[in-house]
Amino acid sequence: MFKAAFGHVFTFVMALVALLPSTAHAQGMRDRIPASEYAALVGLFNSTGGPGWKDHSHWLDPAAPSWHGVVVSGGDVTELDLTDNNLAGFIPASFGNLSLLSVAYLGHNRLTGAIPSTIGNLSQLSIFHAEDNALSGSIPASIGNLTLLTDLDL
Candidates 149, 43, 48; CA nearest to 104 is 149
Domains of the chain: 2-153 (3.80.10.10)
Q: Is 137 exposed, middle or buried (0-12, 13-18, 19+ CB in 10 A)?
A: exposed
Give how far the C-alpha of residue 106 lies from the chain's centroid of Cα atoms, to the nearest Å. 12
| Span 54-101, pLDDT tens digits | 999 999 999 999 999 999 999 999 999 999 999 999 999 999 999 999
pLDDT over threshold 50, residue 2: no
pLDDT over threshold 60, residue 18: no
Q: Please give the Cα distance from 81 to 92 (Å, whole number).
A: 16
Using CA atoms, how far residue 151 sits from 68, 115, 131, 143, 154, in Å, is: 23, 16, 12, 12, 10
> With DSSP H G I counted as helix, E B as strand and the rest as coil, what are the percentages for the chain, rounded to 5?
40, 20, 45
What residues have CB less than 8 Å from 74, skipping those under 6 apart?
100
| Span 21-51, pLDDT tens digits | 434 345 799 999 999 999 999 999 999 999 9
Q: Could you tell me which residues are beta bridge partners of residue 127?
A: 103, 151
